[in-house]
Structure 1
Amino acid sequence: MEVITEGVNNLAVADSAAPGYQRNRIQVSNTKKPLFFYVNLAKRYMQQFNEVELSALGMAIATVVTVAEILKNNGFAIEKRITTSTIDMREDAAARPIPKPKIEIMLGKSEKFDELIAAAKEEDEEENLEESSA
């Protein structure tokens, strides 16, 4: 039993061992998930880590900016840093690199974050009570 426990304790997820990996980074795609998936995920990351980094390439940049603005305009987040750059992407190994724009937006919890999260949770619980009693 001790060997199994030791094995589990030493287990490393491949992504988390990668250089530059951040547990509080969300890489946003404009095709894979709906907008509010990213908004809600960012809130959960801020609860856990006190800040979240939203990252995107190319056409997904508009989605990242929208997510950040929703969080800021609703009082959940403050903007800490915005970084823009270009990176070279290849369609395949033989293709020549194509420059792609990249954005990273670091958001931190606002002073009202915990209060807003508590109020939203309370509101959800009230709605669930109303639905179950109907």
Structure 2
Amino acid sequence: MEEITEGVANVTVSGDTQKKNRIQVSNTKKPLFFYVNLAKRYMQQYNEVELSALGMAISTVVSIAEILKNNGFAVEKKIMTSTAEIRDDSRGRPISKAKIEIVLGKSEKFDELMEAAAAAAAADERVGDGEEQS
């Protein structure tokens, strides 16, 4: 099985160990829908995904979770907020940052929606190749 490691930010938070189904979101690294699609792949593999962010990236995590919930892919299992001590090498002292972790599970319709999306993508590809044009 292929391990997906894209989209994991290099943030060291004291006491945190990397879980296989965790996506650490950055608000500057990747577009929003990169994370939405990555979360869907994680839910396919692990049945749930944990979205995690610090500081300004929190709004991005909330947006990802809401997109997945509103489109019927996910159900909310847990939301945790806290502060994390981040070591800032330039200032030489730790900084407290807000942290959010949202755990989403597959909805009852998840597999059905993923199959429909895959079928639509395949149909779009065929039209793009000229096979189904009328």
Q: With structure 1 as the length reference, what TM-score do the two structures score?
A: 0.83
Give TM-score scaled by structure 2 length: 0.83
Identity %: 67
Q: Is the counterpart of residue 63 in structure 1 residue 44 in structure 2? A: no
Partner AA of 1:36 in structure 2: F
Q: 2:106 aligns with which of 84, 93, 109?
A: 109
Q: What RMSD in Å do the two structures reach over aligned CA positions?
A: 1.8
Please list, as runs of the form range in 1=range in 2, the aligned pairs for 1:1-134 lying within 5 A after superposition: 20-92=17-89, 95-133=92-130
> Which residue is equivalent to 2:11?
none
Q: Note the alpha carbon deviations across 1:1-59, whole angstroms, 9 max, x for none.
A: xxxxxxxxxxxxxxxxx972210000000000000000000000000000000000000
SS in 2 for 1:119: helix
Cα distance, 1:33–1:116 mapped onto 2, change above 3 Å: same
Who is 2:9 aligned against? none
Work out the number of aligned pairs and report it: 118
Partners of 1:25 and 1:47 lie apart in 2 by 13
Distance 1:93 1:127, change over 3 A: closer
Alpha-carbon distance between aligned partners in 1 of 2:95 and 2:88, rounded to the nearest angstrom: 8
In the alignment, structure 1 segments of 5+ residues that lack a partner are 1-17
CA-CA distance at 1:93 after TM superposition:
7.8
Q: Structure 1 residue 101: deviation in Å? A: 0.2
In structure 1, what is the Cα distance between the partners aligned to 2:88 and 2:98? 15
Structure 2 gaps, min length 5: 1-14
Structure 1's consecutive aligned runs of 4 or more residues displaced over 6 angstroms after TM superposition are none
